[in-house]
Amino acid sequence: MAAPMRVAVLGATLAATTAFTCTPSTGSLRLAAAVHELRPSGMPVSASQLAAPKLRGATVLSMAVEKLDKRKERRRIVSSENFNRRGFAETKEEVEGVMVEEFTSDMIKELKANDNTLIRDNVTVKLATDFGFCWGVERAVAMAYEARSFYQDDEIHITNEIIHNPGVNARIGEMGINFVPAEEGVKDFSKIKAGDVVILPAFGASLEEMQLLDQKGVRIVDTTCPWVSKVWNAVDTHQRKDMTSVIHGKWAHEESIATASFCEDYVLVKDMDEAKYVAQYMLEGGNKEEFLEKFKNAISKGFDPDVHLKKVGIANQTTMYKEETAAIAKLFERTALKKFGPEKLNEHFMALDTICDATQERQDAIQVLLKDDGVDVFLIVGGWDSSNTAHLLEIVHMQGKTGYHIDAAARIKEDGSIEHRDHEGKIVLTENFLPKGKLTLGITSGASTPDRYMQDSVERVFLLKALEDAVPA
């Protein structure tokens, strides 16, 4: 074996035989240093940077690493005795009771029992047929609660928000579960010790994070939504067919970061306009420098559009607008058909169904509610960083209707104003947002929103209308 390589980390010196181990059979690189950094979502860095681990202040002289079989590496980690994807039967019943108390709503039950309609004084509430907590989100939150109850005396960490809901994340923190700290946009895993418990959120975690935690010898509780795992399986299929993954998603979103980490070559497109640009380059070529600049935050390391757009597979961030994902897939199918002909289409194009059922159902339900011309205002409840909730507002906006996206009931103020996220992503304040007189309110919520939070928001509307009636004209 070669002499130990030296690596400097935060002013310390570690022998490479301690800091790194390379498994020849998989070519996997293990990181076991004092500090490991990954930039979380929202920071102006590329997806390839987000997915790739770094050692702060480290100098690596040289190392030859075989190409990593990412599927094999993921399977190795999840098959470990320290990896839990099933939850905790011992605390399941207790947690079910707690979640019913904290998150369910008598008002929502009443709405569902009365054809999704509720009348109180001058306010009529109409509820979309599909809304709120999806199965994957409920499972993730339940597993986090179960872990806290099961490991009562152990240190527990979580690598990111469990879901995109500020209230639920606050509860996770109140339970003594430590969010991995980030300073200046850099995650710091140094406080995680062997034997600690680490929860992976519903969005999943990157392969590099999973490798690091595995090397640290922690007990992992994986709450990753099975629909997200389904996307990972899709991009693995692309990789095995030597295809580039075209991912419909936001490059800084936690789920897309995780998905990209399981790809070999990829480009992320956030919307149809970006997809058209990529498809046009695939068909006719173009200005490579312009392409690389345009997608500098959304491509794999070493991406070459002249090389990596000859064979493409379509995947998506599960919370994207499902009709747009389907349209993007059709666009690339037509592009490949035109460029390579029908006889070679399957060699150059692949699209597997990875659109989340829950996302689709909530989008379909708001479309139905929008057909009711009697609805005056739509209220969409869910985290401001929740992609699936934001798309519900976009659907309302595209139909030319009035809608407000709030992340908590407190955004509805006593003075009749509302602080909300608009369809462009800006947080704005609108005064006197409710029309005078009788009101019909359309209500829905994103897949990360408990029913109780929707009830709290509607109660605020009832209060404002009651105050309006109490004031003499």
Could you give the residue numbers annotated as active site? 255
C-alpha 253/C-alpha 53 separation (Å) is: 17
Q: Of 220, 191, 252, give the one whose Cα is nearest residue 36.
A: 191
Angle of CA points 269, 274, 278, to nearest 5°:
90
Burial-class residue 97 by CB neighbours within 10 Å (0-12, 13-18, 19+). Answer: exposed
Among 149, 231, 147, 159, which Cα is nearest to 189's? 159
Edge-to-edge, what's the strand order for the sheet holding 123-127? 117-120, 123-127, 439-445, 377-381, 403-406, 418-421, 427-430
CA atoms within 13 A on the CB side of 471: 10
Contact 201, 158 (CB under 8 A): yes
The phi, psi pair for 394, rounded to 5°, reads: -60, -40
How many Å apart are CA 391 and CA 88, to the nearest integer? 34
What contacts 146, CB < 8 A, 6 or more positions away? 87, 88, 91, 92, 95
**Residue 398 identity (one-letter amino acid):** M
- State how far the Cα of 103 lies from the Cα of 142, in Å rounded to an integer: 11
Phi-psi map region of 278: left, alpha, beta (phi>0 left; psi -120 to 50 alpha): alpha
Q: Is 389 within 8 Å of 406 (Cβ atoms)? A: no
Residue type at position 376? D
CA nearest to 102, candidates 451, 463, 460 = 451
H/E segment holding residue 461: helix 451-470
Nearest alpha-carbon partner for 201 in 168, 225, 218, 167: 225
Instruction: Taking each helix axis as running N to C, give the angle between helix 357-370 and helix 387-398, from 0 to 180 degrees, rounded to the nearest 10.
Output: 30
Residue 392 and residue 364: Cα distance in Å, rounded? 10
Residues 6+ apart with CB under 8 A from 435: 376, 377
Angstrom distance (rounded) from CA 332 to CA 345: 11
Cβ neighbour number for residue 25 with a 10 Å cutoff: 9
